[in-house]
Amino acid sequence: MSTARLAAALVAIVCWVGLAAQFAVTYGQQHDVIASLWIIARFFTILANLVLAATMSRVATGGRVSASVLGGVTLAILLVGIVYFFLLRGLHTLSGLALVADTLLHKVSPVAMALWWLLFAPRAKLRWSAPIWWSAFPVAYLVYALARGHFDHKYPYPFLDVGKLGWTQAALNVGGIALGFILAGFALMWFDRWRPLGSSPSTR
């Protein structure tokens, strides 16, 4: 197995273990598989790590994944880490398996994927339209999260809590995150043009 595939396997393992730990914690509270899955599917952290786990599992097993997809999942999981660090860190006191899940899903997986992309992702193959396409994932999630919250009055994150913030402030928060994601996408594009590491453009 190549170094890139081995490293991809490690990233995937981090995500799968983190997801399993979070499911175990939620199931321990709900004692129902469907209810537990429904609860954790509310969070962007879970969905982004799930997409990342599937993507890197494919890379690890020799499947072909485009440079655009690799860039998109990297950016999405970096969003998880950045939002956690600036907006969510310290909101809850965690211990045991919950702390393991929190650490793997919010801290380890973003850093691990960023390093993998830096070292192994194909260079200079991203198109300048990519950040617009990448934004579809978080924007779709935000619409989904707000729609769920509208019906059951439970919002996954404080900055999306329409009940407390009102629609205007929540919409401003959503717009700010979406704009930040697109700008970060263009920054990733710019960095990709000159980064010295990664596989050559002809290899993937």
Q: Give me the domain span that covers residue 193.
A: 3-203
What's the average model confidence in pLDDT over 107-119?
96
Q: State the Cα–Cα distance between residues 82 and 1, nearest whole angstrom.
A: 32
DSSP 65: -
Report yes or no: 137 and 72 within 8 Å, Cβ to Cβ. yes
Report yes or no: 57 and 12 within 8 Å, Cβ to Cβ. yes
Helix axes 109-120, 67-83, angle to 10 degrees: 150
Q: Kindly report, residue by residue over 46-86, the tens digit of the pLDDT.
A: 999 999 999 999 999 999 999 999 999 999 999 999 999 98
Q: Kindly report, residue by residue over 37-48, the tens digit of the pLDDT.
A: 999 999 999 999
Phi, psi of 62 (to 5 degrees): 90, 5
Domain count within the chain: 1
DSSP 108: I
